[in-house]
Chains A and B, each alone.
Chain A
Amino acid sequence: MESATVALGHDHADEHHGPPEANESSRIDKQTLGIFLFIVSEIMLFGAFFASYFFLRVVVAPSSWPPEPYELPVAVAGVNTAILVSSSFTIHYALESIRRGNRQGMKLGLVLTWMLGATFLFIQLNEYVHIGFSARDLAFGSIFYGLTGLHGAHVFVGLMLLSFATIRAFRGHFGPDAKDHLGVEVPGIYWHFVDVMWIVVYVTVYIL
């Protein structure tokens, strides 16, 4: 009886225990899928803020927008937009460089992207200091700071991701193969999303 139990236990030792192995798609790696799903959830978050914004502008419909006597620094924000858009080109350059095996180009692209992102954030904080109204000034102030602040938080997170990627690049990580530079590709996708979101925020809040 005892020998039978031992034999049975031995047979089961080779079997897989616990949850089944996760299925992996051959078309998309799990890191890219992860950031894609995260971005989809972020679009919904921004969508909620835009819904509030358009409710205020279209349904509540104040006589003037922005309400008197407030003014938005359209030109400064325009320059800031150009800075952020150019950072999408530099991160793309970084990725194109590593795809061709050019490590110096990747490092340069990452450093430039980080600096442009930090400049954008600095200018935005400077804008908050000098804009002349706070989040407590009417619903206009709340939604302005809500939308631009939410985006600013995303830029900050993007800068953190870029910091990790840049440090790893200078430590000799990443290679030309697709699976070897996911650490740059995933922050790159996130950075493009942050960029697109700012273009939408700028056009909606500052221009229209």
Chain B
Amino acid sequence: MKISEEAVFKWVVIVMVAAISIIAVTLLTRPLAGALWALVLVCLAGWWGLRWAARKQRGR
């Protein structure tokens, strides 16, 4: 993983887009739906992180 301002900025944009989707779901439906959508996104991020870490370990 390259740790630089550029890489971190990409994550700011990703988190911002995710937050906008959560806000939209919450305002269009109800807070519980927004919370569940947030949970889905957190789980997806966790799964992606684990997959990335496993790939990195295999690469070593």
Q: Do A and B come from one complex?
A: yes
Partner of A192 from the list B9, B22, B34 (CB cut-off 8 Å) is B9
Q: Total contacts A to B, CB within 8 angstroms?
A: 55
Q: Is A203 in contact with B3, judged by CB distance below 8 angstroms?
A: no
**Distance (whole angstroms) from the CB of B50 to the closest CB of chain A:** 17
Q: Is A207 in contact with B34, judged by CB distance below 8 angstroms?
A: yes
CA distance in complex: A196, B31 (Å): 21
Query: Is A134 in contact with chain B by the CB < 8 A criterion?
Result: no
Partner of A199 from the list B6, B8, B15 (CB cut-off 8 Å) is B15
Query: Is B53 in contact with chain A by the CB < 8 A criterion?
Result: no
Query: Is B19 in contact with chain A by the CB < 8 A criterion?
Result: yes
Give the most central of B12, B16, B38: most A CB within 10 Å.
Answer: B12
Q: Is A185 in contact with B35, judged by CB distance below 8 angstroms?
A: no
| Contact-residue size bin, chain A (C-beta under 8 Å from the other chain) | 20 to 34
Query: Is A79 in contact with chain B by the CB < 8 A criterion?
Result: no
Query: Is B48 in contact with chain A by the CB < 8 A criterion?
Result: no
Q: Is B19 in contact with A32, judged by CB distance below 8 angstroms?
A: no
| Contact-residue size bin, chain B (C-beta under 8 Å from the other chain) | 10 to 19
Query: Is A60 in contact with chain B by the CB < 8 A criterion?
Result: no
Which B-chain residue is minimally distant from A35 (CB atoms)? B3
Partner of A189 from the list B5, B19, B26, B31 (CB cut-off 8 Å) is B5
CA distance in complex: A92, B22 (Å): 25
Which A-chain residue is minimally distant from B7 (CB atoms)? A189
Main secondary structure of the interface of A (DSSP, over half): helix
Q: Mark A175-208, 1 if CB is under 8 A from B, else 0.
A: 0000000000100110011011001101100011
Partner of A193 from the list B8, B22, B26 (CB cut-off 8 Å) is B8
Contacts of B8 in A (CB 8 A): 188-189, 192-193
Q: List 27 A-B contacts (CB under 8 A).
A: A32-B4, A33-B3, A36-B3, A85-B16, A95-B6, A185-B5, A188-B8, A189-B3, A189-B5, A189-B8, A192-B5, A192-B8, A192-B9, A193-B8, A196-B11, A196-B12, A196-B15, A202-B19, A203-B23, A203-B38, A207-B22, A207-B26, A207-B27, A207-B31, A207-B34, A208-B35, A208-B38
Spell out B's residues near A (CB within 8 Å).
3-6, 8-9, 11-12, 15-16, 19, 22-23, 26-27, 31, 34-35, 38
User: 8 closest A-B pairs (Cβ-Cβ)?
Assistant: A188-B5, A192-B8, A199-B19, A92-B9, A88-B12, A185-B5, A192-B12, A196-B15
